[in-house]
Structures are given as structure tokens and as C-alpha cells.
Amino acid sequence: MARSFIAELATSGHTVPVRACVYESNPPVWLFPSIGEYPLYDDFAYGQMLKDELRMSRYAEAVRRYAPGRTVLDIGTGQDAVWALAAARAGARHVWAVEVIPKSAQIAREAIEQAGFADRITVVEGLSTEIELADPVDMCVSEIIGTLGGSEGAGAVLRDARERLVKPGGVFIPHRSVTTAVALDLTSAAAGELPSFPLFTFRYVEQVFASVGRPFDLRVCLVGLQDDPQTQERSYVSDTAEVEPLEFNGELRPEGVDRAELTFTRRGRFHGLALGMRLWVAEGDEPLDSLVQPSSWTPVYAPLSEAGLPVRPGDRFEFQFTTAMSDDGVHPDYALTGKLRRDVGPAVPLRWSSAHHQHGFRSTPFYRSLFPET
């Protein structure tokens, strides 16, 4: 029985039809909008991050290693002020905890007071790119890494922090990130159905549309991808490529063009890419990897072919991945153009783009089917 149906989203006084499902019907894979870049954080989103044990333990370790005796800037402290409190507990001299969402900043302030650290942690409400500090700090901790490494603006925001708010040679946590890409075959994962938005995600889609001021082809994540080598539940059909390198303790380039290639490792149908991130929290750490570890970062879906193009081991997808700053100066627009090269037949050109806030709506077959015109 089909799980998906057409429902309606409410946006700027009118409704938009959308392919939907009920979460309780246990859809094999489903869609969730990429929300961190707007930034739409609530109890649910902060809660998911606190439950991500690997993320929490890597950050806690790094903060304990670097914070003692230092002055610290925590960019995006969130409502729990986790890294500001961890730094103060580890013996930081003083922490400036910056948060742009007013409600989160207020809750953070209360949490800090309750924990008895109001004298050593100052909460600053606002964007880190718009604040001033009397003196630059010794180190900066932040977790503004997106579903794509730089999608929440880590490149531009942390470059600004390095130039204005942190002493020369000051330490940055995290150390580096990359965006990762792997080819997807959704045949078994989607069980014959196109992935849809569960009803509970509507409020997030509506808030993303509201923050941009109109409906548009928003960036979507795929939840529930299976890639278990022990079973037939395999979704990944290629090796993995890295693009968008961001060196937070080195030369930080928030924009760029990367060339990469994926080699197919299994026979299947090529529907698109899963894009994720690897994150080295401190220098010398093993990276967190959102494509292979269960984590609070969900892979972004870059649909390339609705029907799926048949592929065999040894076929290749060569592509160029472009990260360009959107006109807000912080959040990147992404574009990917490539060619599928198979054993036989001509190369097949494929493309995907995902702007932070764009005018295009229903601009590709994927979005025309996700938001059908009735």
C-alpha cells in the first residue's frame, strides 16, 4: 500500500501541495529539510545534537584539552551553552558565548546562572560577525557545521572570527571539515516509493519558506538510508569523494571549485548523491563521518535522475563542485555539474544546484514531483 499522499503546506497566506507521508507508517526513507542554515533550532533540533554521543564526546575531549587557562569564544552556544559551560568547568579564564537566536540566548543565560558560572561566562546575543570584543580571545569553539560541511556558514563566520575576534595563532575547535559525496541507489531503500515529508516535518519546511519569504526548491536531507554490508539493504554504490575543504586552523577558503570523481563499486541504478560531512574536531582526531556513522547530521540528497541510470562496477561519475557565497555573505550556494561515464554509450551530463535562498521553485523533475501543481 502506498504510504505517500499529497497534503498541503501553509506558506505566506496560501497553500502549497507537497508529497507527504505519516511517520508512524514507518517509511523506509523520508525527507527532512536542511534547517541549520536558516537557522531554525528548537528543542527537538538541540535535543538531537545532545543525543549524538560521538559528537558530544569529541567536543568535550577537545574543550578539556585546550580550554584550561585560556579565554574562549563560543560561537553559536545554543540554548544549553554546552561548550561554554564545558570550557568554564575545564578552567577557562573567561568565556564569551554568542548566540543569534534570542530565545536560545535567554535560555542559555539562565542555564549558566543555574550552573553558577555567570561570573565567568558572558552571553552575547547576536551574530558573531556583528559583535565586538574588547580584547581578542585565545581560542574559539563552535559547532556551526552543516549537513554539508560549510552550509551553516562556518567558512565565512570562522574566517571573520580569525580576523577580528581571536588572537593570531589562537586555537580553533573544530580543526577542519570537508563535504563528502557518494553515489546513491534508492531502489531498495525507498521500496518503490519516492521519499516524502512526514507530516511532523511540515512546520520546518514552512519555517524555511517563511525565513526566505517564499516557497523555493529547498535543500532536503534523506533520513533512514541503509548501507549495511551484512544485508542487501545497500544504498551506496560508489566510493566516497571529498570536496569543500575548510581548514579552521589554517588558510580558510569559504568559496571554491573542487573537481572529484566517484567510481561505482556495485551494479545498480544511479539516482543521485548523498552529500555529508567529515569533521575533525581537534587536530589528530579521527573524523566524525555523517555518511557512515549514525549522527545528528543527516545526508543531503542531490537528485540527479528520477528513474535511476543503470551503472556497473568501474563506471565513473566525474564532477565539479562549486561553493559560492550567497548574497548574505555567510551562507554558500552549491552547484554540481558532472558526467557519468559508463563502459558503453556516450557520457551522460548531470547537474544539481542548491542555493541558500533562491527564486527557483519546481525547477527540476524532483521538485516538480515533490511539490506537484494541482
Ligand X SMILES: C[S@@+](CC[C@H](N)C(=O)[O-])C[C@H]1O[C@@H](n2cnc3c(N)ncnc32)[C@H](O)[C@@H]1O
Binding to ligand X, residues 103-142 (CB under 6 A): 104, 127-129
Strand partners, 9: 16
Looking at the Cβ atoms of 29 and 100, the one nearer to ligand X is 100
Looking at the Cβ atoms of 8 and 328, the one nearer to ligand X is 328
Min separation Cβ 132 and ligand X, Å = 13
- Asked if 179 and 244 count as a contact pair (C-beta separation under 8 A), the reply is yes
CA distance 320 to 332: 16
Min separation Cβ 138 and ligand X, Å = 19
Looking at the Cβ atoms of 83 and 334, the one nearer to ligand X is 83
Q: Is residue 339 within a helix (H) or strand (E), and if so which, with residue range? A: strand 332-341
CA distance 271 to 321: 18
Sign of the dihedral through C-alpha 174, 99, 66, 296: negative
Is residue 38 a contact residue for ligand X (CB under 6 A)? no
Cβ count within 10 A of residue 119? 10
Binding to ligand X, residues 185-214 (CB under 6 A): none
Cβ count within 10 A of residue 213? 10
- Asked if 283 and 130 count as a contact pair (C-beta separation under 8 A), the reply is no
Is residue 99 a contact residue for ligand X (CB under 6 A)? yes
Min separation Cβ 157 and ligand X, Å = 4
- Give the distance, in angstroms, between the CA of residue 90 and the centroid of all CA atoms in the same chain: 29
How far, CA to CA in Å, does 352 sit from each of 149, 311, 320, 333? 17, 19, 11, 11
Phi and psi based region of residue 351 (left: phi greater than 0; alpha: psi -120 to 50; beta: remaining): beta
The count of residues interacting with ligand X (CB under 6 A) is 22
Helices of type H across the chain: 43-51, 53-66, 82-89, 102-114, 154-164, 187-190, 202-212, 365-370
Is residue 221 a contact residue for ligand X (CB under 6 A)? no
CA distance 360 to 371: 12
Looking at the Cβ atoms of 18 and 97, the one nearer to ligand X is 97
Binding to ligand X, residues 148-177 (CB under 6 A): 152, 157
Cell numbers representing residue 372 in the block: 506537484
Min separation Cβ 102 and ligand X, Å = 10
Among 63, 121, 143, 342, binds ligand X (CB under 6 A): 143
Strand partners, 353: 335
Min separation Cβ 109 and ligand X, Å = 13
Q: Residue of minimal CB distance from ligand X?
A: 76
Q: Which stretch binds ligand X (CB under 6 A): 77-85, 178-186, 299-307, 360-368?
A: 77-85
Min separation Cβ 21 and ligand X, Å = 27
Nearest to 42 by CA among 104, 127, 116, 91: 104
Crossing angle between the packed helical segments 43-51 and 53-66, to the nearest 10 degrees = 80
Among 27, 33, 76, 332, binds ligand X (CB under 6 A): 76
Looking at the Cβ atoms of 29 and 156, the one nearer to ligand X is 156
Min separation Cβ 74 and ligand X, Å = 7
Is residue 98 a contact residue for ligand X (CB under 6 A)? yes
Binding to ligand X, residues 40-69 (CB under 6 A): 41, 49
Is residue 77 a contact residue for ligand X (CB under 6 A)? yes
Is residue 144 a contact residue for ligand X (CB under 6 A)? yes
Among 32, 38, 83, 264, binds ligand X (CB under 6 A): 83
CA distance 289 to 58: 12
Q: Which stretch binds ligand X (CB under 6 A): 78-86, 186-194, 199-207, 236-244?
A: 78-86
Binding interface with ligand X (CB under 6 A): 36, 39, 41, 49, 75-78, 82-83, 98-101, 104, 127-129, 143-144, 152, 157
